[in-house]
Chain A
Amino acid sequence: MHRILFRWLLGAVPVVFAVTVLTFVLTSLVPGDPGRTILGANASPAQVRALDAQLGLDHPLPVRYWDWLASALHGDLGDSVTSGVPVSDQLTSRLGVTLSLIGGAVLVAAVAGVALGVLSALKGGLLGRVVDGISLVGLAVPNFWFGLLLMSAFAVRLPVFPVSGYVPLTDSPTQWFESLVLPVLTLGVPATAPVAKQTRDGVLDQLGRDYVRVLRARGVPERSVVLRHVLRNAAAPIVTVLGVVVVTLFGGTVLAETLFVLPGLGGLAVTAAQTQDIPMVQGVALVFTVTVTLINLLIEVVYTMLDPKVRT
Chain B
Amino acid sequence: MKTPTARRTASGTARTHPRRDSARRGFVARLLRKPTAAGSAGYLLLVVLVTVPAGPLAPYSPDGQDLTAALQGPSGAHWLGTGELGRDVLSRLLHGGQVTLLGVVITLAAYLLLGVPAGMVAGYRGGFFDRLVLRTADLVSAVPVIIVLLVVLSVFTGDESAAMAANGLLGAPLLARVVRSATLGVKEELYVRAAVAGGIRDRVIIRRHVLPRVTGVVLVQASVYGAYAVLLETGLGFLGLGTTEASWGSMIAEASKNIGTDPWLLVPSGFMITSFVLALGLLSDGLRDTLAERYAAPARKPPSRRRGGGLRGAASQPVRGQVPGTAGVFEEPDTEALLSVRGLTVSLPIEGTPTDVIRDVSFDLRAGEVLGIVGETGCGKTITATSLLGMLPADGRIASGSVLFEGADLAGADAATLRRVRGRRIGWISQDPVSGLDPSFTAGAQVAEVVRLHTGCTRKEARQRALELFAKVRLPDPARIAVSYPHQLSGGMAQRVGIAAALAGEPALVIADEPTTALDVTVQAEILDLLRELRSAGTSVVLITHDWGVLADLCDRAVVMYAGEVVEEAEVTDLVTAPAHPYTAGLLRSDPHHAVPGEPLPAVEGAVPPPPQWPVGCHFQNRCPRVSEACRAKPVVISQLAELERSTRCIRPLELIGGPAHD
Contact = CB atoms under 8 A, between A and B. Distances in A.
Contacts of A19: 143, 148
B649 to A, nearest CB: 29
Interface in A242-284: 247, 250-251, 254-255, 258-259, 269-270, 272-274, 276-278, 281-282, 284
A11 interface: yes
B427 to A, nearest CB: 8
Q: Which residue among B150, B277, B439 has the maximum number of chain A CB atoms within 10 Å of its CB?
A: B150
A18 B236 CA distance: 24
What is the interface residue range for chain A against chain B?
35 or more
Contact of A136 (B252, B282, B437, B439): B282
Contacts of A285: 144, 147-148, 150-151
A26 interface: yes
B274 A141 contact: yes
Contacts of B439: 211, 233, 308-309
B540 to A, nearest CB: 16
Contacts of B391: 213, 216-217
A289 B438 contact: no
B278 A218 contact: no
Interface in B343-399: 386, 389, 391
Nearest to A206: B438
B220 interface: no
A144 B241 CA distance: 15
Contacts of B231: 142
B430 A309 contact: no
B146 A151 contact: no
A186 interface: no
Interface string A18-40: 11001100110110000000000
Interface stretch (B193-201, B292-300, B416-424, B459-467): B416-424
Given A152-B263, A217-B391, A218-B428, A269 B235 contact: no
Interface string A276-298: 11100110110011001100100
A22 B139 CA distance: 13
Contacts of B498: 214
Contact of A139 (B142, B143, B281, B449): B281
A60 interface: no
Interface string B409-441: 000000000011111100110111001111111
Nearest to B277: A140
A272 B419 CA distance: 64
Interface stretch (B152-160, B471-479, B609-617, B631-639): B152-160
Interface in A49-75: none
What is the interface residue range for chain B against chain A?
35 or more
A213 B430 contact: yes
B505 interface: yes
Contact of B259 (A30, A152, A233): A152
B400 interface: no
Contacts of A136: 278, 281-282
A210 B382 CA distance: 13
B545 interface: no
Contacts of A281: 150-151, 154
A148 interface: yes
A157 B261 CA distance: 11
A29 B155 CA distance: 7
B488 interface: yes
Nearest to A235: B440
A219 B255 contact: no
Given A11-B142, A217-B391, A142 B428 contact: no
B263 A217 contact: no
A258 B237 CA distance: 13
A169 interface: no
B5 to A, nearest CB: 53
A209 B435 contact: yes
A254 B428 contact: no
B485 interface: yes
Contacts of B438: 211, 215, 229, 232-233
A156 B260 CA distance: 6
A288 B240 contact: no
A27 B151 contact: yes
Contact of A254 (B143, B150, B389): B150
Given A148-B256, A232-B441, A274-B241, 15 more contacts: A11-B138, A11-B139, A19-B143, A140-B281, A210-B436, A220-B453, A233-B438, A233-B440, A255-B238, A272-B154, A285-B147, A289-B147, A292-B143, A307-B440, A308-B440
Nearest 10 pairs of A and B residues by beta carbon: A219-B423, A217-B428, A219-B422, A218-B423, A251-B146, A140-B277, A140-B278, A273-B154, A210-B435, A273-B150
